Structure 1
Amino acid sequence: MISGGCAHKIEVDNLENGEIIRHKLLLIKGQIRHQTISTSVSATHATSKCTGQQTIALLVKSQSVEYKRKHSTGRLVQQQSQISRNGQFKLLTDLSQHVAESENQQLPLKLELKFCNIVQHLQIFYESVTLNQNSYQLQPLYIVCGDRKPSKEELHENCEKINLNLHLVQSIYAEQLRSAGFGRRTFALHKGCQVFETRQRCEQVWQQNEDNLWQNFAQELLNSCAWGEKPNLKFVAFIGCTKYDGEKVAASEDFSYANIRRHLKGHAALGGGGLALFGTGYFYAWPKNVSEISSCFSNIKPVDLTLFPDDSNYRRTHGGVYATTLGSVVHEIGHTFDLGHTKDGVMGNGFDYINQVFTTDNLTECLPDRIIQQQAPNANVAQPANRPRFTQLKRTSNNFLQKYHEQKSSEPFYFTRNCLIILAHHKWFTYLNCNNGGAEKAEDKLIIYDAISNCVISKAVESHPLCLIEVRSVDNSLVKCWYEMQSDKDKNAIYKFQLPREAIEAIQKNHYLFVLTQTGLITRLCEG
């Protein structure tokens, strides 16, 4: 589009006209490009009309007739973003500011993007979805001890941070699945953050490692009156009494991540089964409202290790802490949705880079890789989870040039294809299609492995075709290899799959099979 002789063009990369959005935070990404000027407009004249500005403005306006009738005009929300050196822009907006008049109503919103003398219009629909009690949802919790209840101000601020950042995580999952061609599927949040008062005292919490914290809190939730009989809920819980002894860290003059972690009590970053559990020691770097998100990611203020713990993968900045710890939330929540570990991407080495999803003009970040630790000996105690996962930092030297080219050519924060397939078919992600079918675990002997023919077989012919098979390590659920069943409307559904030699050899050496059907049935084979 040329307006007033301007040669610029606005291209939106991740949003189409008429698209329906069911998550409250929307990231809009795009490019400012130059386009060919028609012969009727001279290049000199077009250039003279350009303002030379380096920001793009977004105006969001409600188009609901009912809303306009009650409020005289549609509500306007405006914000701006800097344009990167290569013309890239990213805008994050809160669609929930435009409240629909009734539940499940598709509220039409007009997006107006302005740059230089160009105006680009898009119309989208924000749908506030009401979920019934049988829907699969994620419930945020703030865990407090009876002997140390926070003030109302502290409680309110921390719960607001939890709500905001889980909505951001919800948006991230939707963006990742959309970019892979699965549509804006994501999980649903049950309610705002709720307080859960544990029977444990602060001293008891501080004395436990994260594995024991996870198991004890999981069992408490399972046995609680409020949350115990809710099989359709998974929980994301934050421990309110996390404490850090910065004075001892400073006295030791050992500022390694391992030593910082030793002096951080009541902390966890662990997910699996029905619970993802985290500490609150890093909330000092988290935003409280949408307008602070970008600046928190970009915050280069050094971490004062005498006052605050650092988990930034050695970036040592407030922005690095926010990126790594929020990325960890995305990663550990992924485990509750049955994702294993991968060598690359969010479920591997890539979750530190979540900041680059929302920021532009990013410098190359050459961060240490991570190692996947083996299971703790008592990780299989009877409880509602399958197996907690453990991710630790490994300080190594990396190839800067390789990282430079990788981050220049594509965003380093991504889910690998096999993870996206699992999420797209997972019952916690199909609620948007009003489909509560499928099951987290397959019925006994519905999906089997025939050791004689080396085949995975779905015995539910015509109803549960195979979708994905992963070969995972028993020790840490690291995916060694995976196979996608290429069955769709144009091809015959697959109910029998013969394993390649590499998979057969792996399951004979401490690996198991993770099997997913097109209908969302999940089973694990060859574990024993």
Structure 2
Amino acid sequence: MISDDGVLQIELDNLENGEIIKHTLLLIKGHIRQKRQANKCREQQIYLQVKRGDATWELQLQSNISRTGQFKLLCDFGQLEVETANTRIPLQLKFSYCNIVRQCEILYETSAYCKTDYRLQSLYITCCNQQPTPSQVLENCEKINLNLRLVQCVYAEQLRSAGYDRSTYTLNSDCKIFETRLTCEEVWEQSEESLWQNFAKEILNSTTWGGEDKLKFVAFIGCTKYDGAAVAATGDFSYTNIRKHLKGHAALGGGGLALFGAAYLYAWPQRFDEINACFGSNKLVDLTQLPDDSNYRRTYGGVYATTLGAVVHEIGHTFDLGHTKDGVMGNGFDYINRVFTIDNLTENLPERVIQVPAPVLSTQTVAGPRVTQLKRTPNTFLEKYHEQKTNDSFYFTRNCVIILAHNKWFGYSHGPAAVQHTDSALIKYDSINGCVLSEAHGNPLCLIEVRSVDNSLVKYWYEPQSNQESDEIYKFHLPKEALQALEKHHYLFVLTRSGAAKRLCEH
């Protein structure tokens, strides 16, 4: 919409008329265009009203306008989940800035309307001898609920920006309490790999969640303990030493479980209207009292960004994503704050090193590796400046997006059910001819990755395509570099058009 004098205009960058929104938190990005400096509007807020039928509804909003006119507006549709059920709701959005108005019509689908049985369930783990205060458990569960909705929004935005529908996972319900058979003392003595193994087994064997093969879980350990006094006594405030004195902690994902410690929830918002303030908080972390995982930013905002980014990363492993050199599944998950904020200063953070994977529980629940170790790197401030000036620095690489876009937990369904249930068995590797095959009719190859056995780092990836758009690829001959990598501790991850995935050549 342009003002009467043609000077002022509201542009929406990531929302069009008729779009279907399937998640409660919606990030709207756009620009205020002003063609003349004279009489320039100095308003610092953009306003939004929502009409549903004859009723006008004021949304909860978090909005900012940058010095260059860019705006990011976060909307909470959660109220619609309470007021309505099993329905698709037409909404008219009315944006106002100074004397101009821009309207956009969308459809909101409630979670009850969603037909998929494949969902994500959050759990708050308490020990059998733990007696947490009900208020603390409630506060942490509310933080988990809110921020998993925010992560849901992040996945949807990433897929849309890559050219796919705004697809994302569906939350099963609010966070539930899960009491482990372990005592606090037993939890504190175990490594994060052991904790992942134990909790994965308990959840899968529990009367409540056992046999739920259509659920994946995100769990937070409630008894995580930090010995700040011991850290202070050493005078060593490095991440390695902080992690050494953090017991009952994990940041590990794979198979059907992403597992985290609850120690960093102190920096997370509990309410929607706290999100921007938490991302922007420059409050320094008292390392004698609280642990720091901010990639050396040492602020509450840094802790929030890094630990929420780690949740996006580890959940990604549960959706079959490997590690990448760049992006969310590599070195870029610290920057999730930039997705929601504007006018950010350049952050030149240490690079990360990909660690060795955790032990395997079973073929169905593989604990993937994680990225936690840090190393100092040469000054690349100028590189970071240009990179962060032109984008949010928080993104999934193309191969990761393809996997997510074809994942059944993201609502993807293609082809007859019979084909979908059997086609993973029909994905094969012909070692004699060095090619990957899909023997299921109507289910061609979609993506092939060569991953390291040590840390699931993607060394090469291929998107089989023909010169003719209508042609489908059922056989793909691996290039020479891929064949050489398979001889040196690498394996294949293969994805077909139906979303079936299989690992081949694992040693």
Q: Which sits farther off after the overlay, 6-15 or 362-371?
A: 6-15
Structure 1 distance, partners of 2:283, 2:295, is: 15
Q: Residue 520 in 1 paired to residue 488 in 2?
A: no
CA distance in 2, matches of 1:25, 1:433: 27
For 1:286 and 1:440, the matched residues in 2 are separated by 40
Return 5+ residue gaps in structure 2 as ranges: none
Please give the alpha-carbon distance, in whole angstroms, between the structure 2 residues aligned to 1:290 and 1:434.
39
**For the Cα contact (< 8 Å) 1:374–1:476, is it kept in 2?**
yes
Helix, strand or coil: the match of 1:278? strand
Equivalent of residue 392 in structure 1, options 349, 372, 394: 372
Structure 1, 16-25 or 332-341: larger mean CA deviation: 16-25
**Which residue in the other structure is 2:389 paired with?**
408
CA distance 1:458–1:51, shift in 2 (3 Å): closer
SS in 2 for 1:55: coil
Q: Could you say if the C-alpha distance between residues 517 and 384 of structure 1 is closer, same or farther in structure 2, counting changes exceeding 3 Å?
A: closer
Cα separation, 2, equivalents of 1:440 and 1:150: 43
Shift of 1:390: 2.6
Question: Which digits, 9 at most, give the CA deviation of each residue in 1:190-229, with x for residues without a partner?
Answer: 1110110000000000111100000010111111111111
Partner of 2:446: 467
CA contact (8 A) 2:51 2:57 kept: yes
Which SS does the other structure have where 1:414 is aligned? coil
Distance 1:345 1:237 in 2: 24
Q: Distance in 2 between matches of 1:234 and 1:384?
A: 12
Give how far 1:290 is off: 1.1
Counterparts of residues 366-445 of structure 1 (less than 5 Å): 366-376=348-358, 379-382=359-362, 384-397=364-377, 398-430=379-411, 442-444=423-425
Q: Does 1:87 align with 2:69?
A: yes
Query: What's the CA shift string for 1:391-419, capped at 9, x where partnerless?
Result: 22222124111111111122210000000
Which residue of the partner structure matches residue 118 of structure 1?
100
Shifted more, 102-111 versus 298-307: the winner is 102-111
The alpha carbon displacement at 1:385 in A equals 1.5
Residues 1:198 and 2:183 aligned together: no
Query: What is the deviation of 1:112?
Result: 1.7
**Distance across 2 between alignment mates of 1:428 and 1:92:** 24
Aligned match for 2:189, one of 179, 182, 207: 207
- More moved, 381-390 vs 136-145: 381-390
Deviation of 1:104 (Å): 3.1
Partner of 1:348: 330
Q: In the alignment, which residue of structure 2 is the partner of 1:62?
A: 51
1:114 to partner: Cα distance: 1.7
Distance 1:135 1:259, change over 3 A: same
- Identical columns (%): 59
Question: What is the alpha-carbon distance in structure 2 between the residues aligned to residue 307 and residue 148 of structure 1?
Answer: 21
| Coordinate RMSD, CA, aligned | 2.2
Give the match's secondary structure for 1:9.
Answer: strand
Q: What code does the residue aligned with 1:388 have?
A: G
Q: Deviations over 1:413-459 (max 9, x none)?
A: 00000000000001111269999887599543x11111111111111
**2:428 is the alignment partner of 1:448:** yes
Tell me if structure 1 keeps the 8 A contact 2:464–2:473.
yes
Q: Alignment partner of 1:119: what SS? A: strand
- TM-score normalised by structure 2 residue count: 0.95
Task: Report how many aligned residue pairs link the two structures.
Answer: 506
Give the aligned residue type for 1:428: W
Instruction: Quickly say closer, same or farther: Cα 1:488–1:419, change in 2 above 3 A.
Output: farther
Distance change (3 Å), C-alpha of 1:492 and 1:93? same
How many Å separate the matches in 2 of 1:2 and 1:316? 44
Q: How many angstroms does 1:383 deviate by?
A: 7.1
Aligned twin of 1:38: none
Q: 1:321 & 1:360 partners in 2: Cα distance?
A: 18
After superposing the two structures, state which structure 1 stretch, 129-138 or 238-247, moved more.
Answer: 129-138
Contact 1:187/1:429 (<8 A) preserved: yes
Aligned partner letter, 2:400:
C
SS in 1 for 2:350: coil
Alpha-carbon distance in 1 for matches of 2:277, 2:417: 39
Which of 43, 46, 64 aligns to 1:53? It is 43
Q: Is the 8 A contact 1:56 1:80 kept in 2?
A: no
